Amino acid sequence: MSHTIINIVLVILCYALYRYRRRRVHELAKNIPSPPGASSVFGALKYSLLGKDMILELLIEYSRYAHSIGCGMVKFITDPHICIGVSDRDDVEYILKNCLEKDNIMNLFREVIGNAGIYAPVSTWIHRRKMLIPAFGPKIIKSFVSIQARQGQDLSEQLERDGRVGSGEFSIWPYINAYTLSSIAETALGVKLDALRDPNIPFLRAVQDVLCFMASRIVKFWLWPQFIYKFSSLHADIQNSKALLYSLPNKIIKEKREALHNNNKVKNLREKQTIYGQGQETKSFLDHLIILSEEENRLSDEELREEILVMMLAGTDSSAVAIGYTLVLLAKYPEIQEKLYSEIKNHFGTSDRPLDSDDLMALEYLSRVVKESLRLFPPAPGIARKAGDKEVHLPSGIILPRETTIVVSIWGMNRDPKQWGPTAECFDPDRFSDKQTATYASFSLGPRNCIGYKYALQSVKIAVASIIRRYKVVGEPEKGSVPTIESTFSIMMRAKDDYKIALEKR
């Protein structure tokens, strides 16, 4: 009995000491408002138990609360750790420029992606980002248009081959997901994997499975500690998929390096039209990275594999989600769809030639539609950063305590009436027609933003144009100008019904 009392006293003393050492942290946190029902002791536990639908619901609820009080910031967990959600544009811009460390929760992904820049500590990320930037230059991204356009055409033809046109409602998710997977496999690795016709190709299945397993671990807080997770079935599943996921890029990287050294023509590689004797017309991201890393600060084979896999994992579902929301929005707003179809029809006339980069430049309304869809339904609705060991003095005057987890609400910033006016929640592509001063943050901002955003926009526009050119997208028209699409969260935000639409031939 006396031992129990001593233990309880010790725990209380430890907690009191912990709080005393963090008194400045809690003092600063007091200045930040909390939505009703949020911010409790062991709040993290409460939120983990809520499940993935609730995570998105709370992000939306708290962002709306932040808008309503005009502060653009809410505190939603205080113990044992402080978590703050931010949606005010100026504060978000400051945070994304100055707080570059990712939150510790992102370490969970490193089991699969190793030290790839996306979730690596800043010291590693800087080197990786420097290596990646030239591979994402405008000329290289433009060189992928022909591949994406061919895949887009395949996508629209496959829908007809499968009898999806004129036969009522269906989920378009497997098709758009196969389109983004095949496009990224060909542009990132240089391999043609036709996911539209064969969704069970082992490598492509492994990409899908790993994305799904990683989403599961994020929402199952009891699997966060490594010593528990190691004994779970999820760990075994991830290990199996990882082996499959690594095998193809490892093999290709090895072959390309060998071919490169056999040719011994490193210095001339930039000028070559085709490389490594494979007769490829378009160099893949991997080709570019190998060339760059041979010439400059060499990336090891493992580092190359990590970065290529991240492109595949970061670029597949996110772009598919964006295509899905855009199509559903077009079904809900037939007059906007007709305006888009008119633009496409006037531009191409009766020709069914494949789309090229000049077409993309010319299709201005398409660009507005895609941006507006990404604004209202950002595939990554929130991102987590860390305040580090110094306090963060924000433009709004608020000081964020050190070591805080900062959840940047992209959803909140993209719908903030202070920025977008009273029609912030409405679907109105024309808001991007005049000199738009508001910033949409769907690809994040600052030095750690999405390096693939130009590629992604290109891919989404091509898929949407390929479908609208041939088919009318049909669905329940929305009653008002504020679209409602029930969504859930699993790493990405995603429509609960997996994007159900119907297609009619034009």
**Binding site residues for heme, as ranges?**
450
Region of 70 on the Ramachandran plot (φ > 0 left; ψ -120 to 50 alpha; else beta): left
For residue 403, what are the contacts with CB-CB under 8 A and spacing of at least 6? 25, 81, 82, 386, 387, 388, 389
Select from 155-163, 351-359, 377-385, 415-423 the region that touches ligand HEM (CB under 6 A): 377-385
Select from 37-45, 340-348, 394-402, 440-448 the region that touches ligand HEM (CB under 6 A): 440-448
Select from 38-46, 198-206, 311-319, 421-429 the region that touches ligand HEM (CB under 6 A): 311-319
The smaller minimum CB distance to ligand HEM, of residues 318 and 414, is found at 318
Select from 163-171, 418-426, 442-450, 475-483 the region that touches ligand HEM (CB under 6 A): 442-450
In the complex, minimum distance from the CB of residue 113 to ligand HEM, in angstroms, rounded to a whole number: 10
Looking at residue 102, the DSSP 8-state letter turns out to be B
The smaller minimum CB distance to ligand HEM, of residues 38 and 314, is found at 314
The only residue of 77, 331, 363, 450 in contact with ligand HEM, by rule CB under 6 A: 450
In the complex, minimum distance from the CB of residue 504 to ligand HEM, in angstroms, rounded to a whole number: 27
Residues in the interface with ligand HEM (CB under 6 A) total: 25
State the binding string over 95-124 for ligand HEM (x if CB under 6 A, else -). -------x--------------xx------
Residue 311 engages ligand HEM in binding (rule: CB under 6 A): yes
- CA–CA separation, 342 and 54 (whole Å): 40
Amino acid identity for residue 412 in this structure: G
Residue 60 engages ligand HEM in binding (rule: CB under 6 A): no
Region of 444 on the Ramachandran plot (φ > 0 left; ψ -120 to 50 alpha; else beta): left
Closest CA to 89 of 426, 450, 410, 402: 410
Closest CA to 441 of 392, 385, 389, 504: 385
The only residue of 89, 256, 448, 470 in contact with ligand HEM, by rule CB under 6 A: 448
Select from 46-54, 396-404, 422-430, 438-446 the region that touches ligand HEM (CB under 6 A): 438-446
In the complex, minimum distance from the CB of residue 58 to ligand HEM, in angstroms, rounded to a whole number: 19
In the complex, minimum distance from the CB of residue 171 to ligand HEM, in angstroms, rounded to a whole number: 19
Residue 214 engages ligand HEM in binding (rule: CB under 6 A): no
Residue 310 engages ligand HEM in binding (rule: CB under 6 A): yes
- CA–CA separation, 10 and 454 (whole Å): 56
Residue 204 engages ligand HEM in binding (rule: CB under 6 A): no
In the complex, minimum distance from the CB of residue 246 to ligand HEM, in angstroms, rounded to a whole number: 18
Percent helix, strand and coil across the chain, each to the nearest 5: 60, 10, 30
The only residue of 286, 336, 456, 501 in contact with ligand HEM, by rule CB under 6 A: 456
Helical (H) or strand (E) element with 495? strand 492-495
The only residue of 442, 466, 487, 490 in contact with ligand HEM, by rule CB under 6 A: 442
Whether residue 408 contacts residue 385, with contact meaning beta carbons closer than 8 Å, is answered with yes
Query: Which residue carries 């010439």 as its tokens?
Result: 295
In the complex, minimum distance from the CB of residue 96 to ligand HEM, in angstroms, rounded to a whole number: 7
| 236 backbone dihedrals φ, ψ, rounded to 5° | -65, -40
The only residue of 363, 383, 400, 465 in contact with ligand HEM, by rule CB under 6 A: 383
The only residue of 34, 87, 293, 319 in contact with ligand HEM, by rule CB under 6 A: 319
Q: Which residues of 348-376 are buried (b: 16+ CB within 10 A; e: fewer)?
A: beeeeeebebebbeebebbbbbbbbbbbb
Residue 155 engages ligand HEM in binding (rule: CB under 6 A): no
Residue 318 engages ligand HEM in binding (rule: CB under 6 A): yes
In the complex, minimum distance from the CB of residue 109 to ligand HEM, in angstroms, rounded to a whole number: 10
| Helix/strand/coil for 346 | helix
Residue 314 engages ligand HEM in binding (rule: CB under 6 A): yes
- CA–CA separation, 70 and 66 (whole Å): 6
Residue 380 engages ligand HEM in binding (rule: CB under 6 A): yes
- CA–CA separation, 204 and 222 (whole Å): 29
The only residue of 43, 114, 315, 483 in contact with ligand HEM, by rule CB under 6 A: 315
Number of CB atoms found within 10 A of residue 285's CB? 26
Name the residue with the smallest CB distance to ligand HEM.
Answer: 452
Residue 284 engages ligand HEM in binding (rule: CB under 6 A): no
| Helix/strand/coil for 78 | coil
- CA–CA separation, 84 and 95 (whole Å): 12
The only residue of 22, 67, 89, 129 in contact with ligand HEM, by rule CB under 6 A: 129
The smaller minimum CB distance to ligand HEM, of residues 313 and 501, is found at 313
Instruction: Write the DSSP assignment of 429-493 as a string of letters.
Output: GGGGTS---S---TT--STTS-TTHHHHHHHHHHHHHHHHHHEEEE-PPPSSSS----EEEESEE
The smaller minimum CB distance to ligand HEM, of residues 28 and 329, is found at 329
Beta bridge partners of 386: 405
Closest CA to 313 of 407, 238, 413, 411: 238
The residues that touch ligand HEM, with contacts defined as CB under 6 A, are 102, 117-118, 125, 129, 310-311, 314-315, 318-319, 322, 379-380, 383, 442-444, 448-452, 455-456
